[in-house]
Amino acid sequence: MIRYFLFSLILVSLGVSLNSCKSESKKDKNASSQKTKRNKSKKTCSAEDYTAIFPKDLDALENYKFEATDHSSTESFTVRNAFPIAVNVEIIQVGCKKLTQELRFEIMDKIPPQIPPKECSLIVMGIFNYFANLHPDLMTFAAFVQVMETKINEFEYNSPILLQDGFTMQIDKMHNLESTLITVVIKKEDE
């Protein structure tokens, strides 16, 4: 299931297999059929292939919403009372075998524009640690933080870094008058 993609870089190192959406293609013997087979394997996911990362009944999540289409899914909610300020969270998943996940954290306060990437990464790690303590199914966020800790000095804005096994992570931030948006993009690179 796509739900586990976010954690797959942790799970791969632990030897746990990741279930991903599957595409069907016909077996053909000649070369032209092989090209057709590769094209068919690039089909988009169906809405049923996308599942939510978070359990929908968590008391800590306000305004929880999950929507899936054949092209992507969006999961959104607000976290209050966990941090000094509210954090709006939106998780967008796009793709099937080469899934990209974009986690958007809108922090309802102004963070200094000159905050270095390392400090921004620490904010993300704090949010991930909070998620890990919400529900046993989310404990892998804590393991994800451990991987981030080993790469903390490599983070630069708008620049993906290789975490492990072909997975990259990129952290960006944007400021407006009332909030700061921190975006984390995780994706599987071509092998």
Q: Which residue has the higher pLDDT, 1 or 60?
A: 60
**Rounded to 5°, angle at Cα 37 from 33 and 39:** 120
Query: Using one digit for the tens of pLDDT, what is the confidence trace for 89-126?
Result: 999 999 877 889 999 999 988 788 889 999 999 999 99
Confidence of residue 143 (pLDDT cuts 50, 70, 90): confident
Q: Which of 3-17, 95-109, 128-142 has the lowest mean pLDDT?
A: 3-17
The reported pTM is 0.75
| Residue given tokens 């793709």 in the structure block | 95
pLDDT of residue 5: 37
Backbone angles phi, psi at 112, to 5 degrees: -55, 130
The CA distances from residue 168 to 9, 31, 37, 72, 161, in Å, are 9, 33, 28, 19, 5
What percent of the chain shows pLDDT beyond 90?
46
Q: Which of 11-25, 58-72, 78-92 has the lowest mean pLDDT?
A: 11-25
DSSP state at residue 37: H
Q: Which residue has the higher pLDDT, 146 or 24?
A: 146
Report how many domains make up the chain. Answer: 1
- Going along 44-86, which residue ranges are E strands? 61-68, 72-79
Mean pLDDT, residues 130-148 taken together = 89
pLDDT of residue 109: 85
Domain with 60 in it: 2-188
pLDDT of residue 3: 37
Confidence of residue 8 (pLDDT cuts 50, 70, 90): very low
| Residue given tokens 């008058």 in the structure block | 177
Q: How far apart are CA 99 and CA 79, in angstroms?
A: 25
Structure tokens at 41: 């394997």
